[in-house]
Amino acid sequence: MKINSLFIAAKEFNTGVLFVSMGLMEILKQNISRVAFFRPIISKTDTQDHDILFMLEHYKLDMKYEDAYGVTLEYAQDMIASNKTEELIVELLEKFKKLEKEYDFILCEGIVFSLFNPNSEFDINIKLAQNFSASYVNIINAKDKSVREVYENISMDKREMQIQGCNHFATFVNRVSKKKQEALDARLKDAHKAIFYLEELEELSFLNVQDVMEALDATPILLAPNDPTRTIRSIKVAALSLDNFLEKIQEDDLIVVPADRSEIIVGLFASLYSKTYPNISAIIFPFSMKAHPNILKLIEGLNDFHIPVLSVKDDTYETVRKLMQVHGHIRVNSSRKIALAMGLFRESVDIKYIQEKICNEQSDIVTPLMFKYKLFEMAAAKKKRIVLPEASDERILRAAEVILHRKVADIILLGEKQEIEANYMRLGLNLSKASIINPSTSDLMKEFVAEFYKLRKKKGLSMVAAQDAMTHFNYFATMMIQLGYADAMVSGAIHPTADTIRPALQIIKTKAQYSRVSSAFFMCFKTKVLVYGDCAILQDPNADELAQIAIASAQSAKMFGITPRVAMLSYSTGESGAGSDVDKVREATKKVRKIKPELLIEGPIQYDAAIDVQVAKIKLPNSKVAGHATVFVFPDLNTGNNTYKAVQRSSGAIAIGPILQGLKKPVNDLSRGCSVEDIINTIAITAIQAGVDE
């Protein structure tokens, strides 16, 4: 049976419904382009629904907010109380059917049953799933429950679905310990195969600064762009003297302190500069007070480190009381929580089982989001060791945290351990699972110097020069790859391209079939991903080098699930033009056909004939590539670089790259203007390259 919709629901609060919705949506978005999110009943009428807003924005769903829900809780309760349950279901079914006509798949999220009516004769969620013909996903909260209670909940849900004639898809048991999992497996045996356990991940329930700001209507006094995502582990009130209070603070504390306690405020900021004290997450001033102007001037001048400072109207007691009632949320900007949640989901759930059940028909459509999540899935399957030599850069640290939490790759950072740890902790990050190596004190240094000298002595390199080279982090990182201490490297956020490529050429070198290193960009359009090469490295390749670029780019496409159909671009199509530039492309095409006769390739060909089916019918009607090209090889760097940038800016396409091709082991270069997202994507791609069997 083909499944076109899932209905996710739970009977209790704090069960992790959004968590499971995110995990399933991520699987869907890897495989299906048009997915809708629908909540038949929402609880709030005065504010927009949090889960809907999150899913629409984070997963970039092409739908309006008002189409993503059916009715309010109050309306639904009134209808049922008036014996109009059938009319209510018909009304919701009409909205669901409208989405069914417009989208390929609908992910539904039900209302918490206990919120609806715990004394109801029927479960409204199961009733709706039955009428929607949606397969049902039930979630059970195992926290504070015995094994017997969890087992009984699973059994009762199963019986209820059978009675209602509802198709069961899977059961998620959330917040469950390993010990309980083993005991439940012993009881369930093979009676309930589609069951997945999700361990308790305490950090997902932690508050962050944004939660506090919204719940307490706090006014920011000092707040940097990334501060709202800072994690808060516990709350402390500064009621002691500074010397006594300092020993009470712990990592990621939120400190409530009156603004006139200047010595406490100065002491807390001073602790940021100390390696012997924890890093707090934020400070709150009650009574709408502000610190003395001189104190504010002092802390505003601390350029290296800072913490957010907020002000609230309430007194200290009322502020703490309200804080105790605030719950942590997963938000669109909660990159850390999202990465943790999706890392846990992927580790705990049989992804292939779910994909086979809901994604049994493949489509040619590939959206940027589908491509991105596919990268994460492919990289995580091999989980390679990626060395990052630029650990002093904040963007690198933030990207590394996401990669680690998502379990996409293992990370090695280069630098002084205490300094790196102090830096990421002051940023509110957790990179405790990363390996940190200081080249200047590493036991590997002697081996690396000897190996580099051996490789380059015929080129005139002295032992002293070899020692000097290995003190440079890019050289040290490259040697780690060469000798098997790491699988790949990503650099370039703070170094020019030459500083990344030069060590790779001297140490790793190119594969036998390639004389030069080239590059490719993945151009992510609205419904497809194309490969452009070479747009970053080789200025004016000859026919042999152009053929190598074509072969390498085709292999890069295939590596990432794109069927390679190569267009060798020129200002002329087929035999219509002449000139040295066209002849070079024509010669390169012949060379590729000789080396790779199985590869679909066309050249010379103009861009419009390569991409547009109608133009292709006129210019090259018998070509298997024209109009359907997926790999575009440009004749020179001037053409390629300008074209990719023009296409990117004019079409809104997302350009991922450049990805280096031709090296024996993967090394990739970042732009110095790269974003955290760029770094994350490049690390994932590099990890995939490292996992490909040669």
Better-scored residue on pLDDT, 187 or 1:
187
Work out whether the CA dihedral 582, 585, 589, 591 comes out positive or negative. positive
Q: Hey, is 528 helix, strand or coil?
A: coil
Looking at residue 339, its amino acid is A
Average pLDDT over residues 214-224: 93
Paired sense of beta strands 69-72 and 35-42, if any: parallel
Whether residue 229 has pLDDT greater than 80? yes
Architecture of the structural domain at 5-201: 3-Layer(aba) Sandwich (3.40)
Phi–psi pair at 256, nearest 5 degrees? -100, 120
Q: Which residues contact 286 (CB under 8 A, 6 or more apart)?
A: 256, 258, 312, 314, 315, 316, 318, 319
For residue range 581-594, what is the model confidence (pLDDT) as tens digits?
899 999 999 999 99
The pLDDT score that the predictor gives to residue 300 is 82
- 619-648 per-position pLDDT tens digit: 999 899 999 999 999 999 999 999 999 999
Average of per-residue pLDDT values in the chain = 91
The pLDDT tens digits for 444-477 are 999 999 999 999 999 999 999 999 999 999 999 9
683 with 399: CB under 8 angstroms? Answer: yes
In the predicted structure, residue 527 carries a pLDDT above the cut 90: no
Query: What would the pLDDT profile of 305-360 be if each residue is shown by its tens digit?
Result: 778 999 999 999 999 999 999 988 899 988 889 999 999 999 999 988 888 888 76
Contacts of 443 (CB under 8 A, 6+ apart): none
Express each pLDDT in 65-84 by its tens digit. Answer: 999 999 999 999 899 889 99
Q: What's the CATH fold of domain 364-508?
A: Rossmann fold (3.40.50)
Residue partners of 170: CB distance under 8 A and separation at least 6: 137, 194, 195, 196, 354
What length does the chain have? 694
Instruction: pLDDT band for 51, please (50, 70, 90 cuts).
Output: very high
Q: What is the DSSP string of 582-612?
A: HHHHHHHHHHHHHH-TTSEEEEEE-HHHHH-
For 331-350, letters b (16+ CB in 10 Å) and e give beebbbbbbbbbbbbbebbe
Per-residue pLDDT, 118:
54
Torsion angle of alpha carbons 633, 637, 639, 642, nearest 10°?
110
For the chain, the domains span: 5-201, 207-323, 364-508, 518-662
Q: Do domains 5-201 and 207-323 have the same CATH topology?
A: no
- How much is the average pLDDT of 560-579? 88
What CA–CA distance (Å, rounded) separates 685 from 96? 38
In this prediction, residues 258-266 reach a mean pLDDT of 93
Superfamily for domain range 207-323: HprK N-terminal domain-like (3.40.1390.20)
Per-residue pLDDT reduced to its tens digit, 4-42: 999 999 988 888 999 999 999 999 988 888 999 999 999
The answer on pLDDT for 378 being more than 50 is yes
For residue 211, the cross-strand partners are none
Instruction: State residue 46's pLDDT score.
Output: 65
Per-residue confidence band for 116, with pLDDT thresholds at 50, 70 and 90: low
N- to C-terminal Cα distance for the chain? 39
pLDDT of residue 444: 96
Query: Which structure tokens are listed for 633?
Result: 């090889």
534 upstream amide cis, omega within 30 of 0:
yes
Q: What pLDDT, on a 0 to 100 scale, did the predictor assign at position 694?
A: 45
Q: CA 64 from chain center: how many Å?
A: 24
**What is the CATH T-level fold of the domain 518-662, as seen in this structure?**
Rossmann fold (3.40.50)
- What are the pLDDT digits (tens) for 175-213? 999 899 989 888 887 655 689 999 988 888 899 999 999
Given a contact cutoff of 8 angstroms between Cβ atoms, the answer to whether 416 and 447 are in contact is no
Distance (Å, whole) CA 302 – CA 296:
10
The CA distance from 400 to 414, in Å, is 12
Residue 393 has pLDDT above 50, yes or no: yes
User: pLDDT category, 50, cuts 50, 70, 90?
Assistant: very high
Dist. CA 598–CA 155, nearest whole Å: 55
**Strand positions, DSSP E, 238-334:** 253-256, 282-285, 309-311
Give the pLDDT confidence score for residue 194 in this predicted structure: 85
Reported confidence tier of residue 526, pLDDT bands at 50, 70, 90: confident
Lowest mean pLDDT among 146-160, 161-175, 298-312, 495-509: 298-312
